[in-house]
Chain A
Amino acid sequence: MSSPAPRHREKAQVLDETALDRALTRIAHEILERNGGAKDLAFVGLRTRGVSLAHRLAAKIAHIDGTTLPVGTLDITLYRDDLGMRGTPVIRGTDIPFSIKDKTVILVDDVLFTGRTIRAALDAIIDLGRPTAIQLACLIDRGHRELPIRPDYIGKNLPTSRRESVAVRLREHDGEDRVVIEEPEEA
């Protein structure tokens, strides 16, 4: 079995509940501004927390614009480039119950780091159909990109060191809305 994950302790709070909500409100407005409205937009959230963020953005756009946009769920496990390096692959399933053909897909993830997850997500989406465009929304951009990938909408730019980790805690999963930086305990 895999070795136990190193314990992390909280180093700093980056966003509280209000700031997180404001960031999402701003992203929702930016999405509408950039695309000239909500026509032919669709959200695809990356499991797990990207899905919750996608639902929240869709709710905000419904509030602002009155348009209800579809929200799909993407599991990119089958597209990862590190199968066999991370232990048992856990497949939780993709569920996109609408056609993405001729749609502008807004891909939503919580933290953008190396860009490898997004690379896999782009392949996964394109296997499902041919969208007009794919745009990327991330709550946190923590840098350290290993691939030429750039987000279209960013909640907060957050310079980090590689040994730190960024934890996005959401009400739906963690009982609170908060973003914190953590570092390994033994340090």
Chain B
Amino acid sequence: MGWTRKDLLSMRELDASEITLLVDTAASLQEIASRDIKKVPALRGKTVVNLFYEASTRTRTSFEIAGKWLSADVINFSASGSSTSKGESFIDTAKNIAAMSPDVVVVRHSSAGAADLLARELPCSIVNAGDGAHEHPTQALLDLLTIREKKGHFEGLHVAIVGDIAHSRVARSDIHGMRKLGMTVTVAGPPTLIPPYVQELGAKVSYRLEDAIGDVDVIMMLRLQQERMRSGLIPSTREYAHYWGLTLDKLARHARPDVLIMHPGPVNRGIELSPEVADGPYSVILDQVSRGVAVRMGVLLLLAGRRSGEAA
């Protein structure tokens, strides 16, 4: 099985063998992080542009480090302080950047479909680093790599994804990826934050945290975005934290002793996760971040290392 795609836009479009190839490639690249000289020449002479229209710390830094460790030239563009503030449209900005012949453009945008649009319009490879509430495939891949490193396999594992499912691109990408690899997914959250289509994606639904975390191998907690409260989807942050916040006490009473606690970041301490859980022995949140660099190295390498002239 080889890699033939020009772009990485979603987990939905990938099949299980492509996901496994990405995870395997990332796993083999992890060793580079432990070297004294963290640089290999694989992408020497390639150019990667980070085109970020939304705030990001982890993802942008992670792609930048990944590109640099592979010896690519990495250029960061952020919408603030750019020609966007002079009124240039998204697609015009992207076409101007493409005119400077980058090999890969990594894009984050608040609108679903932004990465697909660029993939159609630009000749270079596009990586979706998050588009609205649609998908965030590299986050799902690093979640999968972390799970496999900790649990040893995928098949038969049960994952609970807890929180604001409706607005979460991470949840959608995770559900697609996990289902394709033979895992069971239960989503849990207040009814206003569970989208109606979630069962069509193959996920089970629970409306009580204590039920959802009962017999699972992994608990993925999602960030509560404060703007959900202002839009009336939840009554108050305190009420959310009371019913949906994960504490050591709830873990001890309901979860399995070998459960993994994951979170895509940034964490709202004291809301969805108590600090004792976020920093506790079950938590692999910082492992996720470390593996994110390996995953993004793998993605850049497979996209830029496609056979020259190979059809998309």
Contacts and interface: CB of A to CB of B under 8 A. Distances in A.
A53 B39 CA distance: 28
Interface string A70-83: 00000101111001
Interface stretch (A61-69, A90-98, A153-161): A90-98
B222 interface: no
Interface string A119-136: 000011001110000000
A85 B41 contact: no
A123 B43 CA distance: 15
A1 B4 contact: yes
Given A91-B25, A91-B29, A83 B2 contact: no
B302 interface: yes
A127 B37 contact: yes
Nearest to A95: B31
B91 interface: no
A87 interface: yes
B29 A129 contact: no
B304 A84 contact: yes
Interface residues of A, number: 25
B256 to A, nearest CB: 31
A124 B40 CA distance: 8
B82 interface: no
B25 A128 contact: no
Contacts of A89: 25, 42, 301-302, 305
A162 interface: no
A2 interface: yes
B40 A88 contact: no
Contact of B2 (A87, A94, A127): A87
B35 A85 contact: no
Interface string B97-126: 000000000000000000000000000000
B21 to A, nearest CB: 7
Contact of A128 (B35, B43, B70, B301): B35
Contacts of B301: 78, 89, 91
B297 to A, nearest CB: 9
B40 A84 contact: no
Given A84-B308, A86-B307, A89-B301, A127 B31 contact: no
A92 B298 CA distance: 12
Contacts of A128: 35-37
A79 B43 CA distance: 9
Contact of A92 (B28, B37, B305): B28
Interface string A91-126: 111110000000000000000000000000001100
Contacts of A77: 42
B158 interface: no
A94 B37 CA distance: 14
B69 to A, nearest CB: 10
Contact of A79 (B25, B35, B42, B307): B42
Contact of A78 (B1, B2, B40): B40
B33 to A, nearest CB: 12
B304 to A, nearest CB: 7
B3 interface: yes
B36 A129 contact: yes
A8 B2 CA distance: 23
B40 A127 contact: yes
B28 A91 contact: yes
Contact of B42 (A83, A87, A88): A83
B307 A2 contact: yes
Interface of B: 1-4, 21, 24-25, 27-29, 31, 35-37, 39-43, 70, 298, 301-302, 304-308, 310
14 contacts: A75-B28, A80-B42, A83-B43, A84-B306, A86-B307, A87-B2, A91-B24, A91-B28, A91-B29, A92-B28, A93-B28, A93-B31, A94-B31, A128-B35
Closest 6 CB pairs of A and B: A93-B28, A88-B2, A78-B40, A78-B42, A91-B28, A89-B305
Interface of A: 1-2, 75, 77-80, 83-95, 123-124, 127-129
Given A85-B308, A87-B310, A89-B25, 12 more contacts: A2-B2, A75-B28, A78-B40, A84-B305, A84-B308, A87-B2, A88-B1, A88-B305, A88-B306, A91-B301, A93-B31, A129-B36
